[in-house]
Amino acid sequence: MGSSETSSSEMAGFGNVAVPKKLIFFASIEIIYLSRQTVIKIAYTSTIKKTRTTADKQLIDDDKEALHLHCVQLRKENFEDALNFLVEKGSIRSKIATFSSTFSHDCEQMIKDKLGLDLVRINEMDCLVKGTNFLMSNIESETYNYDHHSNSCKYIFRTIRPSTVRPYLLVNVGTGVSFFKVESDEKYERLGGSHLGGASLVGIAKLIADVKNLDEILQMAEDGDHRNIDILVSDIYGARLTEELSGDIIAGSFGKCKSPEAIARLKQSPNFAKDVVRSLLLMISNQIGQSAVLYAETNDIKKIYFNGYLVRNHPIIMRTFSYAIEFWSQKKISARFLRHEGYTAAIGAFLKGTLLEEGPSRDDEGERFSWNEYFIGCSDLGRFVPTAPLSLGFSAGVLELECTHMQLQQFTLLTDTDENVYLPDEWKLNEDEVARTFWLDTMEKSADNVMKKAEESQRNAPGVEERATNFRKKFLKQLKIIRDKPHAYGSANVRNLLDLREEILIEMQFDDSYLSQKTLDNQLALSQLVETLQFYDGMVDDKERMFALCRGLLAGNVFDWGASHVVKIMESTGGLSFTNAVKTIPARPWLIDNYDEFSHSINSKTYKCAAIFVDNSGADFILGIIPFARELLKRGSKVIIISNLNPALNDLTYTEMLDISEELAEKDSRLSESIGNGMLLFYHSGQGSPCLDLRKVDSELNEAMIKHGVDLIVIEGMGRALHTNLSAKFKCDSLKVIV
């Protein structure tokens, strides 16, 4: 299957549509016929031609491409416009389009006429399961609990531990309800179902009230009071209640409508219809919840996930389902929801369609590689959130993911158990309003400096001022979305805010804004390396030398272009030298000071292999990390240094590290020997972030950890060891270095 190209400035679903490499249609066309809504999902991939910043501050085409998966949901009346747009802008290389549900003849004919594709029907439940597994495997904040007890942060996003997520119960609430036990993409079974589902709610509500769609029904339920309609336990037992039986429990749905006189009296209330709809919703949701718990308990399932058009981030639905699961399981199980559940079958159909076209002998990118959520290409959490500007003039929900072209796994040396679940981020900005405000303010203040740095990095490239200005506008706009809706893109944390900034820079073709600065910093640090190594070698006492080297680690990490105070010093007339940076390190005890334990360990045994996650280029890597690693080599340890794969701020990249390693070998015989004999190795994490998420590292790095018997982990830098991983625990000794 051939590929087509588009520039990164053309990427935002149907707003600035990405030209498709493969175009596969999903069509659960969710025909919500009772509410007169028909929803169509389109899933396709596009290849994005990358550009690259040069040392002379130009912008040139790169030989690399980015692969993006786009999922778009739109209403049926906009379907033809979408097809016309794809025909005009796209280069469709597929021969088939897959669909997984009832597809109207007019839509089917439209696809054949406009795109020339054959339609292939795929089992809808296969698609649903496959797409759900795909999202939970690839998107870190895909699942959440809805805390109906909380008055502030109701969305509680959960880290999914791959080893424990399956089996799970998938509850698909559509026209009716189906319950599935899911063990893998291929192994799942339908345990049962119920005829009381979305159709029942919509149909009965329309018999009761003059409503046009599901949203109106749910708003009526939100405003209603079921206590006027239902018989509660307190209505029966009054003051004879016990602690085991709460008075607000429903004893009988619609129990207060048992006589013509009672009904006549209830109908006198102006809120009668709202109260009835509320009672109806609770009756159906409680029945679904009770059935889900019974299916889960009888099949030894500990996790329940809800899917289907009735859910769709409707607060009252999530609240009632959450209450029902909590009640019927006696708080042993909680209801879980998917942030992108509206796209599960779309993605599943896409993956199945790719296998049909390319054959089972070749693994497709969709399942062979890991994917990351591409925030700036997505609409936020919610139903039919407009993405603007939309060149087609209609509203569409959009999900976009970027292929990593590698298999990402949880770091193999993490200690990750049910009692100690690894969470990379120290600040949960969804929940902490003070911290959220601080970091959003900080990011907003940084926008001008980042814009100037980006503009300076491509001073000789065309359109640089306009692209830099557009970066600033879009970044501030995205920050406002998060300020208004902290849960918009899942977990709000420092890591995601920094990654969002990098994404927007890349979209505006600023792939490496600090390239020139890093080049200067590396050259300066290399010129001081020999003298620095001689200084350490002159120390006879091993303990004294190790302490000095650790101070050097801290001093090196001062050179961080992401720290505003340090930037002011480095941009001042005198600048910041490594010698002066060492002098800024205060005397012990430090704020968090476990040096005595480390000193005892490092001076009493020889580690087999140390893995060091490096932060910044320049003095940090060359004058801080390298002398420390060289000391470990002298003591008989193998050393693996791990950098970013892709640029972020002035962080060291894998390509830069390999280039510098050649110069290191020229300047020091021990380093040259260690690189030559494989005692000093270089790897990348698979990431391009100022932070470090150890849930998603390159599988080859994990293989190296095992192969070389790593028994010491060193993580340095604010982003990697404070904003993330401060609380991380490992299966071996670890050292976190932060200044």
Q: Which position has the higher pLDDT, 704 or 151?
A: 704
What is the per-residue pLDDT for 359? 53
More confident residue, 302 or 103: 302
**pLDDT band for position 419 (cuts 50, 70, 90):** confident
Q: Is the pLDDT of residue 2 over 90?
A: no
Percentage with pLDDT > 70 across the chain: 84
pLDDT of residue 513: 93
* pLDDT bucket at 239, cuts 50 / 70 / 90: low
Residue 492, pLDDT > 90, answer: no
Which of the listed ranges 377-381, 566-570, 580-584 does the model predict with the highest average pLDDT?
Answer: 580-584
Of 3.30.2020.30, 3.90.550.10, 3.40.50.10880, 3.40.1190.20, the CATH number of 525-737 is: 3.40.50.10880
pLDDT higher than threshold 80 for residue 573: no
Q: What is the pLDDT of residue 364?
A: 60
Q: Which tens digits make up the pLDDT trace of 615-667?
A: 999 999 999 999 999 999 999 999 999 999 999 999 999 999 999 999 999 99
Model confidence pLDDT, tens digit, residues 3-14: 334 333 333 344
Is the predicted pLDDT of residue 529 greater than 90, yes or no? Answer: yes
Q: Quick one: average pLDDT of 311-321?
A: 87
Whether residue 538 is predicted with pLDDT greater than 80 in this model: the reply is yes
Q: What pLDDT does residue 542 have?
A: 95
Segment (H or E) for 476: helix 464-484
User: What pLDDT, on the 0 to 100 scale, is given for residue 16?
Assistant: 41
Domain boundaries in the chain?
Answer: 6-141+343-405, 143-225+271-337, 433-507, 525-737
Per residue, the 3-state secondary structure of 346-358, as one string, reads HHHHHHHHHHHHH
User: Where does the pLDDT of residue 236 fall: very low under 50, low under 70, confident under 90, or very high at 90 and above?
Assistant: confident
Mean pLDDT of 150-157: 75
Burial of 223 (0-12, 13-18, 19+ CB in 10 A): middle
Residue 23 backbone dihedrals phi, psi, to 5 degrees: -125, 110
95 phi, psi to nearest 5 deg? -105, -15
> pLDDT per residue over 10-49, tens digit each?
333 444 444 455 555 544 344 443 345 577 788 888 888 8
pLDDT of residue 689: 94
How confident is the prediction for the chain on average, in pLDDT? 85
- Half-sphere exposure of residue 497: CA atoms within 13 angstroms, side-chain side: 33
Q: How confident is the model at residue 104 (pLDDT cuts 50, 70, 90)?
A: low
CA-to-CA distance for 44 and 18, rounded, in angstroms? 9
pLDDT at residue 388, rounded to an integer: 30
Q: What is the pLDDT of residue 120?
A: 78
Q: What CATH number matches the domain at 143-225+271-337, 3.40.50.10490, 3.30.420.40, 1.10.3720.10, 1.20.140.10? A: 3.30.420.40
601 Rama sector, left if φ>0, alpha if ψ -120 to 50, beta otherwise? alpha
> Nearest 5 degrees, angle CA 39-CA 481-CA 132?
40
Average pLDDT over residues 131-148: 89
Which residues is 231 bridged to in the sheet? 252
Beta-ladder partners of 713:
611, 734
Amino acid 196: pLDDT: 92
> According to the 3-state scheme, what is the secondary structure of 73-137?
EEEHHHHHHHHHHHHHHCCCCCCEEEECCCCCHHHHHHHHHHHCCEEEECCHHHHHHHHHHHHHH
- The pLDDT, as a whole number, for residue 379 is 63
Beta strands in 186-262 (DSSP E): 188-194, 231-232, 250-252
State the pTM of this model. 0.87
Q: What's the mean pLDDT in 281-294?
A: 96
Topology (CATH) of 433-507? AF1104-like (1.20.1700)
